[in-house]
Structure 1
Amino acid sequence: MSSPFIPVIHSIPSGAALIATVLYKYPINKPHSCKLIKRGLNDTYLVEAEEKKYILRVYRRGWRNKQDIDFELELLAFLHEQKQPVAYPIARIDGGFTTEIAAPEGKRYVAIFSYAPGHAVNDKLDTKQSYILGKVLAEIHQTLDIFKSSFSRPTLNNEYLLDWSIVSITPLYQNRKKEMDLLQQQIDRIKNQLTVINLSFSAPEYGICIGDVHSGNTHFTNNNKPTLFDFDQCGYGWRAFDIAKFLHVALRMKINLTIRNSFVEGYQAIRKLNQSELASIPIFIKAAHIWVMGISTNAVGDVLPYGWFNDDWLDERLAMLESLDDAKSILK
C-alpha cells in the first residue's frame, strides 16, 4: 500500500513542463529553454526562444492574489503603451496576461514578460546612471497619474508598511521582547513624524508607486539606456516613498552619497519635490527598512528557511535602522 503524498509548502515548477503546458499559449516562436534563474518572493525563469528571450514568473501562492497580479500587469502594459522603459507583460494568444497552473501547494499564476536588454549594475551604479534612473522614475510617476485600473492593490500606507511588518516579524523573535518593543517605538515615531509633515493625498505627491526601484531591478545597456522591471511591490502611496526605497537599497549596497544624490537630482529635473516631500524621505527610508524586514519574515517557512532568522539577522537590521536616524548622512 503506497503512502499518501506529504503536503507541499512551495514547489519549483519544471522548466520543461512550463514549456509544454504554458508557453504554447503565448505568441512565442519555438521556445527551447526555460531555466530557473531566481528564487525569491516569486520564481523567475529565463525563457529562450528561436528569436528572443523572455522572463517567466510563477507567482508564489499566498503572496499576491489575482487582483494584485492583474493590477500590476495592467499597469505595466499601460506604461509600455505610453513608451515608458519597462519590461512589459506578453499577452496570451487569447488576449489574457496570466495562466493558472495546478501546483502541489495549490493554484499559482504565471506571467510572461519581455526581456530587459542590458544588465543590472547593482552596487556599480554610477552618477550618470543614477541621474537617468531618477528621471525615469519621475516620468513614470507623471505617466501613472492618468492610469486607471478596475483591479485593487494594497496601499503603501502605515498599516501595510509598518503594522503588517511588525506582525510578521514578532512571532520569530518572541525571545527578544526588548528589541521588539524598541522596534514598535520606532514605528510609532515614524507614524508621528509623518503626521506632523502632513503630506498631501493628491497627485503629484500621492499616486501609484513602483515600490522597489533600484539598480538591481533595472538593466542598463552599454549606452546607459535603462529598462525597469519587477513591479511586484507597486501600489498607491506617497511618491517620496519610491525615492526612499531607492535610497534604502543604495545604502545597503554602500553606494556613495554623491551617486545617491544624483538620483534625487534626476528626479527633480522632471518634477520638483516640495519641502514636505524632502523632509519625509529620511523617514520613509526607515519605513522601507522595516517593510523589507516584514517581507522577509513573511516568506519564512516556504521561500526562506527559519534558520536565516537568527539573532544576528535581527541585530544587523536593527543596527542599520538605528543608523538611519542620521538623516544628514543619507541625503543632502
Structure 2
Amino acid sequence: MMTPAIIETMRSELAAALPRWNLSERATLTFLSHSENTTFLAEDPLSGQRLVLRVQRIGYHAPAEIASELSWITALIADDVIATPRPLADRDGLLLCSVRLNGSMRQVVAFEHMSGHEPDQSGSLPSWFVKLGMLTAQLHRHSRSWTRPPAFQRKTWDFDAMLGTRPLWGDWRAALGLGDSERQLLQRVADSLADRISTYGQQSERFGLVHADLRLANLLVDGERLGIIDFDDCGFSWFFYDFAAAVSFMEHESVVADLQQAWLQGYRTVAPVSKDDEAMLPVFVMLRRMLLTAWISSHSDTETARRLGTDYTHGTVAMGERFLRGA
C-alpha cells in the first residue's frame, strides 16, 4: 500500500539523487501523482530546468519492457508524429535508472516537463476529440510502419489479459461492492464481449502496438496543441481500443456518442475506418469499463480508486444491462 509517509520517504530520497540528472543542489522535488507508477516534478531554479521523474511500480514492467516503451517514444519524437515529452538520460547516459527508494531498488525514468492542462470536460471536448482522433490515427500509422528493435517487449492487451485467464489489472469478479446477481450479469457481459471480440479477430490490420491509455489525464492542452503523455501501458491490442481508453471513467455519460463521432471524424482525415471497426467501438468501451472496474479493486491505494469506489462498480452493472439489451 502506498501511504503518504511512504511517498514522502520516496520523495526525500529521490530528491537526494537529483544531481544524477545534472540538477543543482537547489533543485526541489514535488509529488505529482500515484496511479500505476508514482511521479514527481523536479525544478531547478538555477538552470530553469523542469523534469518529471517516474518511479516504476514494482513487479509490473520488466526493464526490457520499459526500455521498449522509451524506444517507441523516441521514434515518435524523431519522426515528428505527436508532441510528447522526451525521455532524458542521466549523467551516465542511462534512460532507465536504478535508485534505492524506501529500502528497495526502484526503476526511475526522467522526462522533459510538458506544459499544458487536461482538456476541459465542457462543450469544447468534442473538438479536442477530433484532434485526438487524428493524432491516434497518426500513432497507428507509425505503429504499422515502424521497424521495432529486435529486443522489443511490451505486454499484450488481449481479452485474456483484460477479463480472462491472466488479468493484468486484477479479476473483475472481485470488484468493489459486486453482489452475486450483479456478478452473474457481468459474466454474461464478459461472455458476449469474448464472442464479439473473437469474431472481430486479431489480424495485423486490426491488432498492433497502441498507446492503450489515451484518457483525458494523459492529454495536455496548451493553446492549439494537444500533447500526449504516459506510454506506460502501451502494448499490443486492437487499434480501435484506443478510443475506449480515451473515454475512460466517463463511459456511461451521454457525451460519449458525440465524442465517438468527433474522434472518427478526426481519425478519417488520416486513415479509413471500416463499418466493422466502427461497430466495435461500443464493444471496446464496455471492455474497457470492466477492465477499469477490476483496476479500481486491485489499486485501492490510489486516489482514483478511493474517489470512484463502489459507485463505479454499480455504474458498470448498469452499463452491462444496457449493453446486453443492445447486443
Same fold (TM over 0.5): yes
Are the equivalent residues in 2 in contact too, given 1:116–1:228 (CA < 8 A)? no
Does 79-88 or 123-132 show the bigger shift?
A: 123-132
Q: Deviations over 1:42-72 (max 9, x none)?
A: 1111111232322111112123332332222
Q: Deviations over 1:175-205 (max 9, x none)?
A: 7232222222211110101223x345213x3
Identity %: 19
Instruction: Note closer, same or farther for the CA distance 1:253–1:310 as it changes in structure 2 (3 Å cut).
Output: closer
Q: Deviations over 1:238-274 (max 9, x none)?
A: 1011122223445357646434421221011101111
- CA drift of 1:27 comes to 4.3
Instruction: Note closer, same or farther for the CA distance 1:250–1:296 as it changes in structure 2 (3 Å cut).
Output: closer
Correspondence for 1:19 = 15
Residues 266-285 of structure 1: pairs in structure 2 closer than 5 A: 266-285=266-285
Correspondence for 2:197 = 194
Are the equivalent residues in 2 in contact too, given 1:59–1:109 (CA < 8 A)? yes
Instruction: Note closer, same or farther for the CA distance 1:327–1:114 as it changes in structure 2 (3 Å cut).
Output: farther
Aligned counterpart in structure 1 of residue 109 of structure 2, from 108, 111, 118: 111
Are the equivalent residues in 2 in contact too, given 1:209–1:242 (CA < 8 A)? yes
Correspondence for 1:181 = 184
- CA drift of 1:235 comes to 0.6
- CA drift of 1:99 comes to 1.5
- CA drift of 1:147 comes to 4.0
- The one-letter amino acid paired with 2:203 is F
Correspondence for 1:4 = none
- C-alpha distance in structure 1 between counterparts of 2:186 and 2:74, whole Å: 39
- C-alpha distance in structure 2 between counterparts of 1:249 and 1:305, whole Å: 10
- The one-letter amino acid paired with 2:290 is I
Residues 27-66 of structure 1: pairs in structure 2 closer than 5 A: 27-28=22-23, 32-49=27-44, 50-66=47-63
Q: Secondary structure, in 3 states, of the residue corresponding to 2:94?
A: coil
Instruction: Note closer, same or farther for the CA distance 1:37–1:279 as it changes in structure 2 (3 Å cut).
Output: same
Correspondence for 1:293 = 293
Q: Secondary structure, in 3 states, of the residue corresponding to 1:192?
A: helix
- C-alpha distance in structure 2 between counterparts of 1:307 and 1:51, whole Å: 35
Does 29-38 or 182-191 show the bigger shift?
A: 29-38
Q: Secondary structure, in 3 states, of the residue corresponding to 1:109?
A: strand
Instruction: Note closer, same or farther for the CA distance 1:154–1:107 as it changes in structure 2 (3 Å cut).
Output: same
- CA drift of 1:148 comes to 0.5
TM-score relative to the length of structure 2: 0.85
- C-alpha distance in structure 2 between counterparts of 1:248 and 1:172, whole Å: 17
Correspondence for 2:317 = 318
Residues 41-190 of structure 1: pairs in structure 2 closer than 5 A: 41-49=36-44, 50-83=47-80, 84-104=82-102, 106-124=104-122, 125-145=124-144, 146-149=146-149, 150-163=151-164, 164=167, 168-171=171-174, 176-190=179-193
Instruction: Note closer, same or farther for the CA distance 1:128–1:184 as it changes in structure 2 (3 Å cut).
Output: same
- CA drift of 1:225 comes to 0.8
- CA drift of 1:320 comes to 3.1
- The one-letter amino acid paired with 1:292 is L
Q: Secondary structure, in 3 states, of the residue corresponding to 2:84?
A: coil
Q: Deviations over 1:209-255 (max 9, x none)?
A: 10111332111112x11110011221111101112222344535764
- CA drift of 1:169 comes to 3.3
Q: In the comparison of the two structures, how many residue pairs are matched?
A: 316
TM-score relative to the length of structure 1: 0.84
- C-alpha distance in structure 2 between counterparts of 1:271 and 1:326, whole Å: 32
Are the equivalent residues in 1 in contact too, given 2:97–2:107 (CA < 8 A)? yes
- The alignment yields a C-alpha RMSD, in angstroms, of 2.9
Instruction: Note closer, same or farther for the CA distance 1:265–1:244 as it changes in structure 2 (3 Å cut).
Output: same
- CA drift of 1:127 comes to 3.3
Instruction: Note closer, same or farther for the CA distance 1:173–1:85 as it changes in structure 2 (3 Å cut).
Output: closer
Gaps of at least 5 residues in structure 2 are: none
Q: Secondary structure, in 3 states, of the residue corresponding to 1:120?
A: coil
Instruction: Note closer, same or farther for the CA distance 1:253–1:186 as it changes in structure 2 (3 Å cut).
Output: closer
- C-alpha distance in structure 1 between counterparts of 2:135 and 2:61, whole Å: 26
- The one-letter amino acid paired with 1:201 is Q
Instruction: Note closer, same or farther for the CA distance 1:253–1:308 as it changes in structure 2 (3 Å cut).
Output: same
- C-alpha distance in structure 1 between counterparts of 2:269 and 2:276, whole Å: 18
Residues 250-261 of structure 1: pairs in structure 2 closer than 5 A: 250-251=250-251, 255=255, 257-261=257-261
Q: Secondary structure, in 3 states, of the residue corresponding to 1:64?
A: coil
Gaps of at least 5 residues in structure 1 are: 1-7
Correspondence for 1:3 = none
Q: Deviations over 1:139-162 (max 9, x none)?
A: 111112214141322111010111
Are the equivalent residues in 2 in contact too, given 1:169–1:298 (CA < 8 A)? no
- CA drift of 1:35 comes to 0.2
Correspondence for 2:210 = 209
